[in-house]
């Protein structure tokens, strides 16, 4: 058995001016930008409450889009579950899988994001 749930919304921005893109999404969504991590200059986290999905602005080389992140306590089991539903693996990056739904949308399967805990609303899968 493993658990998973929707954890985040990632706003992929193909731009040379990432600060302006981050400022736009911060103001559009009414969320403050968290202090940046100098080791990851292509990511900006927006401040969300514990009961809200995480919102991440990300500088990318592919066309701009929005994708979802699913967090799980067993990445391989969750990826296999999603493959059985028709998704396919696209690429393994660092610690997560980029997946593609049967309808073409990309999403990521990631480890638990908030203090290593999935929280009360995670689904349980056998």
> How is residue 115 written in tokens?
């203090």
Residue 110 structural domain: 2-125
Q: For the chain, how many structural domains are there in total?
A: 1
Those residues with Cβ within 8 angstroms of residue 122's Cβ, 6 or more apart along the chain or in another chain: 3, 4, 5
Give the pLDDT confidence of 54-110 residue by residue, as tens digits.
Answer: 999 999 999 999 999 999 999 999 999 999 999 999 999 999 999 999 999 999 999
Give the predicted TM-score (pTM) of the model.
0.90
The whole-angstrom separation of Cα 92 and Cα 28 is: 31
The CATH number of whichever domain residue 53 belongs to comes to 3.10.180.10
In the predicted structure, residue 117 carries a pLDDT above the cut 90: no
In whole numbers, what is the pLDDT of the chain averaged over residues? 95
């Amino acid at each position: 058995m493993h658990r998973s749930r929707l954890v985040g919304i990632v706003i992929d921005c193909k731009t040379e001016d990432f600060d302006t893109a981050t400022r736009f999404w911060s103001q559009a969504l009414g969320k403050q930008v968290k202090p940046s991590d100098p080791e990851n200059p292509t990511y900006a986290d927006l401040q969300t409450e514990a009961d809200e999905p995480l919102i991440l602005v990300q500088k990318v080389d592919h066309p701009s889009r929005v994708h979802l992140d699913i967090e799980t306590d067993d990445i391989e089991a969750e990826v296999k579950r999603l493959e059985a539903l028709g998704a396919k693996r696209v690429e393994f990056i660092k610690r997560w899988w980029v997946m593609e739904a049967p309808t073409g949308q990309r999403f990521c399967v990631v480890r638990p994001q908030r203090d290593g805990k999935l929280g009360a609303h995670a689904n349980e899968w056998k």
